[in-house]
Amino acid sequence: MPTVAEVLVAALAEHGVTQVWGVVGDALNPVTDAIHQEQRIEWMGVRHEEAGAFAAGAQAQLTGRLGVCMGTVGPGSIHLLNGLYDAKKSHAPVLAICGQVPRAEIGSDFFQEVDNEVLFSDVAVFHATVSSPEQLPDLVEQAGNAALQGRGVSVLTLPGDVGGLEVPKGTAVPRFVTDQPAVPPEEGALWRAAAVINAAGAVTMLVGCGARDARAEVLAVAERLGAPMIVTLKGKEGLEDDNPYEVGQSGLLGNHASAVAFDGCDLLLMVGTDFPYKEFYPDGKVVVQVDAVGGHIGRRHPVDHAVVGDSRLTLAALLPLLEQKPDRALLDKARSAYDAWRERQRRLTDPGYERRPRGILRRKVENPDDRVRPELLAAAVDRHAAGDAVFTVDTGMAATWLARFVRMRDRRRLLGSFNLGSMANAMPQALGAQALDRGRQVVAFCGDGGLSMLLGDLLTAVAHDLPVKLVVFDNGSLGMVRLEMEQAGLAAYGTRLVNPDLARVAEAIGMTGIRVEDPHAVDGAVLAALEQDGPVLLDVLTNPDEIAVPPKPTLEQGWGFAIAKTKEFLESSD
Ligand SMILES: Cc1ncc(C[n+]2csc(CCOP(=O)(O)OP(=O)(O)O)c2C)c(N)n1
Ligand SMILES: [Mg+2]
């Protein structure tokens, strides 16, 4: 008879899982042994379980199937938590298989014992302990289905003496329900939305990743309404390329054209977006929101007319009800603002460009040792990366540079910790993406703070032959926090990072390491890194003083900046 562990692993393989991520040990040994025997699944040993959870979450987001990670009893499972929270908040179906002390010891405060029920209660949509082989296949099916249908994390806890037990004769291999039918809109809601849109003057669209599969419909509605379109960071995939209505992002990493589009409209049409930053929404507009999840309606900004429904189905049904709007003045205005902004940005990507001071936020960028502008690096990667590259990006300034300079053209994909906002996600997510297809280009935009947080898992790229390209924006600083502090008028205390030569670290680990200090060497180095067959770490010393100007810089931010700079100057001259 097969064991509990063997049946569980067979179910994962049948479902299409190709890797399981984690650190081996104790209660999980029967599972790793079953994986060892299963040709279709590769065991991906990581150095820190958090990296395994991020990798599994990345795989789930790219494939729509379960991503799977494992943590041993107690601390091994605790280490998974941050990556699992990221999966939860990214709506990624992830199964975590966690060890537990043997059944007879449960509740006795045994060595390493933690209460997984409590530990995972906030992060998991489903948690259960397998306490007898008779619970299969049902319990495993419930765990998988809860994750897939609830788009979240399921945790199966396996006590040390259970994985190796044989299942009763005739136990079927668990199977998972993968169908996710799209929700059609209600007729009445559609008519009401169409009526207010037809009655309104200028319309601006705010489009997010919920409309990723509705590209044709989104473009057709924008054309009918002559509407400028603000695309969220997560909506870049599939929506920004070759889109004559697009005016970039809003939010801190956004640009001025988004503010023009927001301010100038009479009606805001939100599609498939849960864009969270309330302060960037325009006041006093009629708001129509289309979202497949009813619970998302109105939670970021007051909504006048809601349509609950899948973006593609809803826009396809809405289009015939919409009248052509003849006035394209707002679209033209927002697009010219966008073009002018992009042209200014493009100048920053020239290695010889010197920015001149203008206004309070546009102080002359101090670049005494000619450090590389992050904009220049991001633009070079955009130029040379493949049309089907998978990008991952750390939380921090790297996200701004990616948002502004990397176009999600062709079949490019983008992963980040966009809802949890954790650091250290980009490298392990890249490992997950790369393991799915070692022939596809996978490029991680890493902060030096982010990369060093899970640095040990550079070893995983080498050990498992994952040719990831890690681009490190090495500004010697927790840059985003530094900017935050300075805008608030605080000295940037605690933000400096003392880094080693990360390219030499990479070399010692067995990767190719390339260090760049000269702006003129960036382009060649990026090309060389991307052309390498194996894993590469490109360590680029970027200018820590580079700032990103938000769509509408406020006077307070400007004053804060000036005050912070004075404080820093006084402190440094002690
Ligand atoms: C796990 C975690 N710890 C702390 C933070 C707060 N935080 C957000 S961005 C950031 C700095 C990131 O620094 P780095 O990775 O070097 O990127 P940079 O902004 O310098 O480009 C910090 C500390 C966080 N988001 N996640
Ligand atoms: Mg940094």
Tens digit of each residue's pLDDT (9 = 90 or more) over 183-209: 999 999 999 999 999 999 999 999 999
How many degrees, rounded to 5, is the angle at CA 420 between CA 415 and CA 422? Answer: 80
For residue 21, give both structure tokens: 């991520």
Angle between helices 29-37 and 4-15 (to 10 degrees): 50
Q: Residue 510: what residue type?
A: G
What is the rounded (10 degree) CA torsion for 414, 415, 416, 418? Answer: 80
How confident is the model at residue 545, as a pLDDT?
A: 85
Distance 61 CA to ligand 1 centre (A): 23
Q: Which ligand is nearest to the CA of 86?
A: 1
pLDDT over threshold 80, residue 132? yes
Distance 84 CA to ligand 1 centre (A): 18
Strands (E), 292-364: 305-308
**Mean pLDDT, range 251-274, rounded to an integer:** 95
Spatial separation of the C-alpha atoms in residues 479 and 470, rounded to whole Å: 18
The dihedrals phi and psi of 106, each to the nearest 5 degrees, come to: -60, 130
How confident is the model at residue 550, as a pLDDT?
A: 74
Residue 253 pLDDT level (bands cut at 50, 70, 90): confident
Residue 363 pLDDT level (bands cut at 50, 70, 90): very low
C-beta of 395 in contact with ligand 1 (< 6 A): yes
Distance 467 CA to ligand 2 centre (A): 23
Closest Cα to atom 3, ligand 1: which residue?
423
Mean pLDDT score of the chain: 94
- Among the listed residues 180, 332, 181, 335, the one whose alpha carbon sits nearest the alpha carbon of residue 248: 335
Distance 129 CA to ligand 2 centre (A): 41
Residue length of the chain: 574
Spatial separation of the C-alpha atoms in residues 462 and 359, rounded to whole Å: 48
Residue 554 pLDDT level (bands cut at 50, 70, 90): confident
Helix (H, G, I), strand (E, B) or coil at 353: coil
C-beta of 447 in contact with ligand 1 (< 6 A): yes
Distance 448 CA to ligand 2 centre (A): 5
pLDDT over threshold 90, residue 512? yes
Closest atom of ligand 1 to CA, residue 417: 25
Closest atom of ligand 1 to CA, residue 446: 15
C-beta of 477 in contact with ligand 1 (< 6 A): yes
Closest atom of ligand 1 to CA, residue 374: 21
Spatial separation of the C-alpha atoms in residues 305 and 504, rounded to whole Å: 57
CA 298, 232, 455, 518 torsion-angle sign: negative
Closest atom of ligand 1 to CA, residue 423: 26
Task: Please count the other Cβ atoms lying within 10 Å of the Cβ belonging to residue 434.
Answer: 26
Residue 359 pLDDT level (bands cut at 50, 70, 90): very low
| Residue 347 near residue 341, CB atoms below 8 Å | no
C-beta of 397 in contact with ligand 1 (< 6 A): yes
Distance 509 CA to ligand 1 centre (A): 24
How confident is the model at residue 565, as a pLDDT?
A: 66
CA distances from 110 to 114, 428, 438 (A): 9, 32, 42
**Mean pLDDT, range 302-328, rounded to an integer:** 98
pLDDT over threshold 80, residue 376? yes
Spatial separation of the C-alpha atoms in residues 171 and 135, rounded to whole Å: 10
For residue 527, give both structure tokens: 């090309």
How confident is the model at residue 573, as a pLDDT?
A: 47
Spatial separation of the C-alpha atoms in residues 221 and 325, rounded to whole Å: 11
Residue with tokens 């900004």: 301
Which of 478, 484, 499, 541, when mutated, tests ligand 1's pocket best, judged by the most ligand atoms within 8 Å of its CB? Answer: 478
CA 563, 564, 565, 569 torsion-angle sign: positive
How confident is the model at residue 356, as a pLDDT?
A: 53
pLDDT over threshold 60, residue 352? yes
Distance 450 CA to ligand 2 centre (A): 7
Look at 554 and 247; give whichever has higher pLDDT: 247
β-strands 286-291, 305-308 pairing: parallel
**Mean pLDDT, range 524-538, rounded to an integer:** 98
**Mean pLDDT, range 135-149, rounded to an integer:** 98
How confident is the model at residue 364, as a pLDDT?
A: 46
Distance 542 CA to ligand 2 centre (A): 9
C-beta of 480 in contact with ligand 1 (< 6 A): yes
Spatial separation of the C-alpha atoms in residues 445 and 379, rounded to whole Å: 12
Spatial separation of the C-alpha atoms in residues 476 and 458, rounded to whole Å: 19
**Which of the residue ranges 164-168, 252-256, 344-348, 359-363 would you say has the lowest mean pLDDT?**
359-363
**Mean pLDDT, range 464-479, rounded to an integer:** 97
